Structure 1
């Protein structure tokens, strides 16, 4: 895909356009608010309007695969078109599919979302490590081979997340474990190993909710040591501002890519640019000030 690894390309895009990723989340209610039908045609119009308006203005797009998949094969075809349109606009795409499985199945997911030539392959993919971090090996290996990136779920802001992410492990099979480390700390430690020596950022990032408060400290999760990008959903409509970002990320703030969906998309097709510009300004102030 590119001689430059994803982490380096994302760092440059964040410097150029600000540390903001705009989610493309075509909820049925948003389609209705935009005066569009809740079908594949409405999905296509909505999504491509976002890309046309904001391509080249923000660091990345993050299409949520579920909202495309719910329209069946025609919806998946729209997702492929969105990825291609973002690439043509020169904007990075993080496909938010949260895939996670074992063996050949994970290998097939990796080929679908990370292989050169696949129409579903953006610049990075969100993945779930809860079958064990090692289950992600096919994705890790293919992403590295093609210059793409991964964002591993680590500390999410949903109320159930702590049931797994804050749990402690006694497994002594890898770095960061064997001493009662939390699952979140283990995920961060594994990412740090993969990113060792990368400059300015490694290509294996974490998903860390912007509204988690002091969870990173409480779980012993060293976000600075990760040396990779931190994708932070929850900025804007979900209530995370400068204070919340400072609490959640501390000294790792400069690695944060804030993700905003509803706060931008709710502005409607005519208000996208102004809403995105305002979100970029807020993200710069909160994370780069």
Structure 2
């Protein structure tokens, strides 16, 4: 598959075209109710596909949260497959890994395990032809970054991307992400977050305009990047930033958190955009406002 355009290049093009905004598709019960939909598979499908229909080809990426589909069992997962397929067909974005056009999809499943189990997760979410494979996958490195090797290898082979959890906004994240690691003669010294960033930087070395192994860095984490000694500039990959909009991160917070790495940030907004539905025009207006605000904060 030598003609595959890597995810990092496709995402950079989509961000330049539509603005650095990813819209989350989070069909939780309260949003379904607000849209006048039942909390069942039919409501799940109606909600999710309305978002794709309204915003396909108008935003850089979608980020469906797998848990909200999984809670409905096998039929819910079938809806997730529909959403991924619909996003791939929607709009007129950059070429996908199979040569198709559409809006990029980051499947937010946060998978992480070891050996053959991680390999199976990789096949489910990253293999060519899998109905659950979007353009990128969120993964958890807390069994050791090396445990992600099956996902790293398959993503590279299929032109897909990964977003590795690094600095998250939940208060419990401090316990692991800010912890200091040790090793022979300090070879692995530093914080866990800094180590994750350094591992991603190695995988992205030399990639232009940016690599395909990104990090998840919460937009509301304040000075955590500096406090942990995490070098986001050196990562040379996309930085997925949840917490923009309804969760409180605006221009000042984004600038403070990401500094000179701002250009690689993909701001993620869910509630601030989805609350404008179900009216399609309302969704489009909210997404354009969020994209414009993110672009001002991140690119000047």
Does 2:209 match 1:200?
A: yes
Measured after TM superposition, the shift of residue 180 of structure 1 is 2.9
Name structure 1 gaps, 5 residues minimum: none
Contact 1:24 1:261 in 2 (8 A): yes
Pairing partner for 2:135 from 113, 123, 128: 123
Bigger mean CA offset, 164-173 vs 6-15: 164-173
Match of 1:39 in 2: 40
Match of 1:278 in 2: 289
Q: Deviations over 1:48-75 (max 9, x none)?
A: 0000000000000000000000000000
- Report how many aligned residue pairs link the two structures: 286
Measured after TM superposition, the shift of residue 156 of structure 1 is 0.3
Q: Deviations over 1:203-249 (max 9, x none)?
A: 00000000011111110000000000000000000000000001110
Match of 2:169 in 1: 157
After TM superposition, where is structure 1 displaced by more than 4 Å over at least 4 residues in a row?
Answer: none
Contact 1:56 1:91 in 2 (8 A): yes
Contact 2:204 2:213 in 1 (8 A): yes
SS, match of residue 181 in structure 2: coil
Q: Deviations over 1:66-103 (max 9, x none)?
A: 00000000000000000000000110000000000000
Root mean square deviation, CA, Å: 1.1
Pairing partner for 1:183 from 192, 203, 214: 192
Does 2:288 match 1:287?
A: no
Does 2:111 match 1:99?
A: yes
Pairing partner for 1:268 from 262, 267, 277: 277
- Report the TM-score when normalising by structure 2: 0.94
In structure 2, what is the Cα distance between the partners aligned to 1:17 and 1:59? 5
Contact 1:169 1:178 in 2 (8 A): no
In structure 2, what is the Cα distance between the partners aligned to 1:272 and 1:168? 43
- Report the TM-score when normalising by structure 1: 0.97
